[in-house]
Structure 1
Amino acid sequence: MADGGQVAYYAAPRPAVTWPHQVGVLPRQADCFQDRAGAEQLAQAVTRGSTAVPCQVLVGMGGVGKTQLAAHHARQAWAEGGVDLLVWISATTREAVISAYAQAAAEVLGADLADAERAARAFLAWLEPKPGTTQWRWLIVLDDVADPADLRGLWPPAGPHGRTLVTTRRRDAALTGDHRRLVSVGLFSPDEAIAYLTTALAFHGRQGPPDQLAALAADLGHLPLALSQAVAYLIDANLDCAAYRARLADRTCTLTALLPDPSGLPDDQATSTAAAWSLSIDRADRIPPRGLARLMLQLVAMLDPHGIPAGVLAGPPALAYLDEFRIGASPEQTHTQQVTEQDAIRALRALHRLNLIEHSPNVPHRAVQVHQLIQRAARDAMTDTDRHVAVVFSATALTAAWPETERDATLAQALRANAEALIRHDEGPLYRLGDFDDELDGVHPVLFRTGESLGKAGQIDAAMKHLQHVLDTACAHLGRDHPDTLHAAHDLAHWLGESGDFAGAATAYKRLLQQETRALGRKHTTVLDTGVSLTYWRMKSGDVVSAVSTYRRVLKQMTKVRGPNHPHVLNLRHNLAWCQGEAGDAVGAAAALEELLEQELQVLGCGDPLTLNTLGALAHWRGEAGDHAGAVAALESVVEQKLRVMGPEHPDTLSARHGLGRWRAIAGDIAGATADLENLLVDRLRVLGPDHPHTFATRSNLANLRGRAGDPAGAAEATAELLGQMLRVLGTDHPHTIRTRNNLAYWRTKAVQDPTAHQSTD
């Protein structure tokens, strides 16, 4: 009998039934079942009382342990006497549900099994609450519902004394309603995963170092099914955690080869982790637009599991991939009907409905997330050729989604993470594109874009490491004189210079110039560009006079080859004017920049980055010529325009703000300059990080302003702190380190000479 508890039954049972009664067999509890947070969440969701929702639907990706949680809850309800009737149904098909209902009707009502449909209807009718009848408590578990349509007309009735528990990988809207609530079942937490591994290994008389257990749990994405099968595999194969992790890291090994064969699966499991999602993928692929979900998952499998920007998977390259390789389309889908952006989004939603991905369009920079093992299983199911094609299309989709000007640091970081994931999965096709298109042969542009983005984001060491790898790999695949190998060497030399090693950059460009001249000829435009870069870094190293004469000579050649309005020609004129200023002719530099600015405004417009850079340079050299106030006013305008055109986090915007603060200080506004640079430092720390050379420069200027404001001791203290960080990051012989060491000596001397200056209060 019931008094408002969890389960209920109606009408008088046939005499042969003894109560409580169970129909169906519960799966046995896993050997090392974790009493995890999800179990408590479920227990709270089905608490007694009038506010309880009579049907709980446990949803989650395959392998998270939904069935084990449902069985655990059913056992507890049975053991605590809260159930008069417990029905466990393996609900993978509609026929299985009807058959189980009919069996329950036969056992409880004495129904005739010859007509299963009629018996099932009788059982559901019996569950309906009826005034004036004896109320029995019931719990019906519908495990592993594969399709919400299978339960159409078969949902147990809602009532105050009956409860239904459903487990499914689906999360369709059809599963919810007034009397049904979705309960999301996720992965183990890191602590739960480590606790499971510890217990499971100990069950077999084994143990592992805590750091290796944590690492193995992370490698398997904290997925309960994968963890249990990994333990069984390493026990049977007599491996320790480190050895098993080494095999996992080998991308030539399939996931199937790293998990038990069907005879060795633990806990009465029916399928391996690698096969756990096969049915879900098949079902997603049959959801309209048919034939796209599997292909979309193949693209997703190549990218960052933690978040793929929306534009990558709905852009023209992704649509071209879906359109070219689509199979199994519905009859009404003709070959002439190309895949649209809306089709791509619907394919993502199909995968989301089957819990194969998380699709969050309201988080556009990380719109798609996916478990790493689902990715691996999807890649394993592809042939080598299919996988290589998917890699190239994914790389092209990333490149197409990458904005020319990175105004959004979060988007740029997400794109870099996706490019890095793609490289980890399989970078080989990115160096031999001719295998798939005879017109394409070389390094995929996404590799160069990644290096550029890393450098502009302030991760210069990472940019150089990445480009060195690209250079080495391109040389091995394409040869040392291939244009893209030379391109990689050029980019690497550039970021070497941006790191502060001007002489090293000049040496690298000199070596590259010799190689390009031999491979391409002296008059090739690439050779001319390298000569310009070599001259620039020689100028930065202090060889200004030589740079001026070289720039003038190269300018004539480049103008003849490319024309006077080519961006490279305009940029060269900018560099030549700057060299004039560095050589001591500030007035001549300003005049040359004024002339250049007029042409850029006509050719490029006022919002082009080259035009804005020329405006900033013109303000600088006018200031050097003596017009300090004019420099400040002009730079205020430049900063305002760069904020509007490039965004607040663009490196050029940050550099313009730095220049404005510097010229405020030169004009005598120490307080205003300090305020500018303090605000800039906050942004540079956030965007570029604490170890970027530009962040160091802002800190150095702030320390010097502190000294100029009358606090030499405070300036010395701030400079000493900066020097310690520079020594760690740049080393003792770096030019920036040497300059900072000299500044420290200066401010310490000033502090001794002027003991009346106020002391630092930091």
Structure 2
Amino acid sequence: MLAKLPHQVGVFPPRARSFQERAEADRLRTAVDGGGTAVLGQVLTGLGGVGKTQLAADHARHAWDAGEIDVLVWVTASSRTAIVTAYAQAGAELLGTDPGDPDQASSMFLAWLGSKPYRWLIVLDDLADPADIRGLWPPDVPHGRTLVTTRRRDAALTGAGRHLVQIGVFTPDQAASYLGAALPPRHGTEDADELALLAAELAYLPLALSQAAAYLADQGMSVAAYRRVLADRTHTLAEAVPEPDALPDDQTLTLAAVWSLSVEHADKLRPEGLARLMLHLTSVLDPNGIPESALTSPSALAYLDEQRTNTGTPSTSEQAFGALRALHRMNLIDHTPDGILPSVRVHQLVQRVSRESLGPGDRERSVAAAADALAAIWPGIERDPDLTQILRSNAQIVASVEGLTLVARGIHQVLFTLGASLGNGGQVQAATDHFRDLAEAANGHLGPDHPDTLTARYGLAHWRGEAGDLAGAALATAELLTDQMRVLGPDHPATFTTRHNLARWHGYAGNPAGAAQAAAELLTDRTRVLGPDHPDTFTTRYDLARWHGYAGNPAGAAQETAELLTDRTRVLGPDHPDTLATRHNLAFWRGEAGDPASAAAGFAELLTDRTRVQGPDHPRTLVTRSNLARWRGEAGDPAGAAAGFAELLT
């Protein structure tokens, strides 16, 4: 006997506890394309665990209960065989076809969908591979709708009237609301801030929230205690969710298991065998944005080659790019190769699961490779503020994952670069704190006389002074100089640099004549050892001119600075920060020597170049604007000076 309409084939999952109404559900119910035409095929794609199946089930349930459809078929589309079998079952129930010949029965069912005016909805849940649905798509007819959920976002899933719908995580309010409703009543007294913090630490992922709530209920644990477990790196994420047989809402897989399937699929995509390794590399960097150039750099390629097996040819940047695309197609990362700054984003729990799949040695190797990649692409002149910020964030993250890896065998260059970048970008207190931590770690793991420990101490003293602690900087620099003379010798470049800074702090503390004398002695030694065109020799000349000016000879300072500018431009180029700094001082000393008009003109020209090279919001650009306004006033234009200061204040 044939089934009567309306008829349902297959069983969709029950509504999850504490199901959250989401904007995506409303969009599914009212889906139209750009021209206002109803969308008949929608593909819900997203990271495993974002709730695609629940959204599809909610949509199907709503349409069925509202009497909007005559035939509803729910297909668990984990394989081509599963799809054919479900179609054959629908054909048997609705048409009386022979289920013993599933291919024939499924073909007849699809033909029937296109020929009969019945209203139908076919849901293909958890499609694993676009190839599995080839030749099995329901027909594109006005009275039918197709809804697919999948972790894939291949181009093959779109076209023929089908639209890709990206499903993301909960909003912070939805996540907090979910936890508040899903947790047992005794948690109702939990601090709302604790719930919000837990939701953020789980990065608002629906599956993670549901499994965390079940774990809390089973263990009778407070939210604050659970957050401590999550933060404790001796516990894995798998230990902070229920056992597989105790998962909520008829779930069958833990978070780690859900994503391991996606990684396996990604690793089989071309270039085969690289996606998993690339995910390991992304797992130790900033989830909010990783420069694509780091992940395709020679350092990244060396890591991929080191970790790969059974390959005789080195990896290429094109293959590394292909691995990113494979991970993107599986929704394990978000890769935007065509943006202003091509980058990669990764959910922080995906990162954690990936890191926890590595042994200590492999994790250390991934951290070292990531640090190498960042150091390799970090520009000597930070012209792009967005790139600079993303590099700093990534360096801070990689240092926090396995920081000892980047210190125990010698401080990695990226940590020195990070500290200098923070300070040179105007974050002098952050630079001070960074070098203090670095010096303490180096002292403990490398010893007090290791060259890297001494370098970290130099950075700490330098940025203490830049932060305003002149006395502390002078004392720390003098102590460092004593140790460097003993360990490195008097002619070592690092010893010279410390002598330079010691003179500098004395000058800032009110003894410019003494600072000038120390700089003159240092210039003699640097010229003898390093040569006249070495950047460090230039730095000493720069400071010597400055201390002459502060000691009462601004005209002489201007002359010395002009000579230095000629040499720095020749050796370093016109856009180098040191060249720009020399132009700044030249304009300043000309003004102090009694030529304010020349000073104003010099600062006006410098402002144009600093804005172009360092950006309009760079601290040194702002300082240049301040000097320009000042010297305009000194040159007889107080109204222009006032206007310049008013704009700068904003």
Q: CA deviation at 1:607?
A: 4.2
Q: Are 1:512 and 2:494 matched, yes or no?
A: no
Q: Are 1:679 and 2:638 matched, yes or no?
A: no
Partner SS, residue 73 of structure 2: strand
Q: Give the conservation status (yes or no) of the 8 Å contact 1:304–1:421.
A: yes
Q: CA deviation at 1:202?
A: 3.7
Q: Give the conservation status (yes or no) of the 8 Å contact 1:129–1:159.
A: no
Partner of 1:316: 298
Amino acid at match of 1:624: E
Q: 1:124 aligns with which of 110, 133, 136?
A: 110
Partner of 2:554: 586
Partner of 2:82: 96
Q: Are 1:113 and 2:125 matched, yes or no?
A: no
Partner of 2:348: 372
Amino acid at match of 1:467: F
Q: CA deviation at 1:602?
A: 4.2
Q: Give the conservation status (yes or no) of the 8 Å contact 2:385–2:615.
A: no
Deviation string 1:592-616 (CA, Å, 9 cap, x unpaired) is 2333334334444444433333333
Whole-angstrom distance in 2 between the partners of 1:385 and 1:646 = 40
Partner SS, residue 677 of structure 1: helix
Whole-angstrom distance in 2 between the partners of 1:161 and 1:607 = 65
Partner SS, residue 288 of structure 1: coil
Q: 1:567 aligns with which of 514, 519, 535?
A: 535
Shift >6 Å, 4+ stretches: none
Partner of 1:702: none
Partner of 1:221: 203
Partner of 1:288: 270
Are residues 605 and 349 of structure 1, via their aligned partners in 2, closer, same or farther at CA, if it must alter by over 3 Å? closer
Amino acid at match of 1:154: L
Deviation string 1:265-320 (CA, Å, 9 cap, x unpaired) is 11110100121111111111111111111111111111111111222222221222
Whole-angstrom distance in 2 between the partners of 1:627 and 1:470 = 45
Q: Give the conservation status (yes or no) of the 8 Å contact 2:184–2:217.
A: no
Are residues 66 and 614 of structure 1, via their aligned partners in 2, closer, same or farther at CA, if it must alter by over 3 Å? closer
Partner of 1:661: 629
Whole-angstrom distance in 2 between the partners of 1:607 and 1:103 = 72
Partner of 1:413: 389
Partner of 1:163: 145
Q: Give the conservation status (yes or no) of the 8 Å contact 2:77–2:126.
A: yes
Partner SS, residue 118 of structure 2: strand
- Report how many residues are paired: 649
Structure 1 length-normalised TM: 0.82
Q: Give the conservation status (yes or no) of the 8 Å contact 2:287–2:347.
A: yes
Structure 2 length-normalised TM: 0.95
Q: 1:632 aligns with which of 588, 600, 621?
A: 600
Q: Give 5+ residue unaligned stretches, structure 1.
A: 1-14, 329-333, 433-440, 683-762
Whole-angstrom distance in 1 between the partners of 2:42 and 2:602 = 65
Are residues 589 and 149 of structure 1, via their aligned partners in 2, closer, same or farther at CA, if it must alter by over 3 Å? same
Partner of 1:539: 507
Partner of 1:141: 123
Q: Give the conservation status (yes or no) of the 8 Å contact 1:198–1:207.
A: no
Partner of 2:524: 556
Are residues 175 and 548 of structure 1, via their aligned partners in 2, closer, same or farther at CA, if it must alter by over 3 Å? same
Q: Give the conservation status (yes or no) of the 8 Å contact 1:25–1:88.
A: yes
Alignment of 1:327-476 (within 5 A): 327=309, 335-336=312-313, 338-365=314-341, 367-432=343-408, 441-476=409-444
Partner SS, residue 429 of structure 1: helix
Q: Are 1:172 and 2:154 matched, yes or no?
A: yes
Amino acid at match of 1:55: G
Q: CA deviation at 1:123?
A: 1.2
Whole-angstrom distance in 2 between the partners of 1:179 and 1:595 = 70
Q: CA deviation at 1:203?
A: 6.1
Matched-pair identity in %: 52
Partner SS, residue 298 of structure 1: helix
Q: CA deviation at 1:364?
A: 4.1
Partner of 1:56: 42
Deviation string 1:356-412 (CA, Å, 9 cap, x unpaired) is 111112334462111111111111111111111110111111112211111222221
Amino acid at match of 2:294: V
Q: Give the conservation status (yes or no) of the 8 Å contact 2:140–2:160.
A: no
Whole-angstrom distance in 2 between the partners of 1:670 and 1:497 = 34
Amino acid at match of 1:442: G
Q: CA deviation at 1:50?
A: 9.1
Are residues 58 and 595 of structure 1, via their aligned partners in 2, closer, same or farther at CA, if it must alter by over 3 Å? closer
Whole-angstrom distance in 1 between the partners of 2:191 and 2:348 = 24
Partner SS, residue 277 of structure 1: helix
Alignment of 1:242-281 (within 5 A): 242-281=224-263
Rg larger in structure: 1
Are residues 604 and 52 of structure 1, via their aligned partners in 2, closer, same or farther at CA, if it must alter by over 3 Å? closer
Partner of 1:42: 28
Partner of 1:190: 172
Q: 1:233 aligns with which of 203, 206, 215?
A: 215
Partner SS, residue 386 of structure 1: helix
Partner of 1:501: 469
Q: Give the conservation status (yes or no) of the 8 Å contact 2:288–2:345.
A: yes
Q: CA deviation at 1:82?
A: 2.5
Deviation string 1:142-169 (CA, Å, 9 cap, x unpaired) is 1000111100000111212222111111
Q: CA deviation at 1:566?
A: 1.0
Are residues 309 and 678 of structure 1, via their aligned partners in 2, closer, same or farther at CA, if it must alter by over 3 Å? farther
Q: CA deviation at 1:644?
A: 4.4
Are residues 65 and 670 of structure 1, via their aligned partners in 2, closer, same or farther at CA, if it must alter by over 3 Å? same
Alignment of 1:58-97 (within 5 A): 58-97=44-83
Whole-angstrom distance in 2 between the partners of 1:281 and 1:319 = 19
Amino acid at match of 1:515: D
Q: Give the conservation status (yes or no) of the 8 Å contact 1:408–1:649.
A: no
Q: 1:611 aligns with which of 579, 593, 597?
A: 579
Partner SS, residue 136 of structure 1: coil
Partner SS, residue 212 of structure 1: helix
Q: CA deviation at 1:111?
A: 1.7
Whole-angstrom distance in 1 between the partners of 2:568 and 2:37 = 71
Amino acid at match of 1:383: G
Q: CA deviation at 1:545?
A: 1.8
Deviation string 1:33-55 (CA, Å, 9 cap, x unpaired) is 222222222222289x9932222
Deviates more, 1:121-130 or 1:560-569: 121-130
Q: CA deviation at 1:344?
A: 1.9
Q: CA deviation at 1:672?
A: 2.0
Deviates more, 1:614-623 or 1:494-503: 614-623
Partner SS, residue 369 of structure 2: helix
Amino acid at match of 1:139: L
Q: Give 5+ residue unaligned stretches, structure 2.
A: none
Whole-angstrom distance in 2 between the partners of 1:51 and 1:551 = 77
Deviation string 1:620-651 (CA, Å, 9 cap, x unpaired) is 22222222222222333333344445444444
Partner SS, residue 575 of structure 1: helix
Q: CA deviation at 1:503?
A: 2.2
Amino acid at match of 2:604: E
Q: 2:13 aligns with which of 27, 32, 55?
A: 27
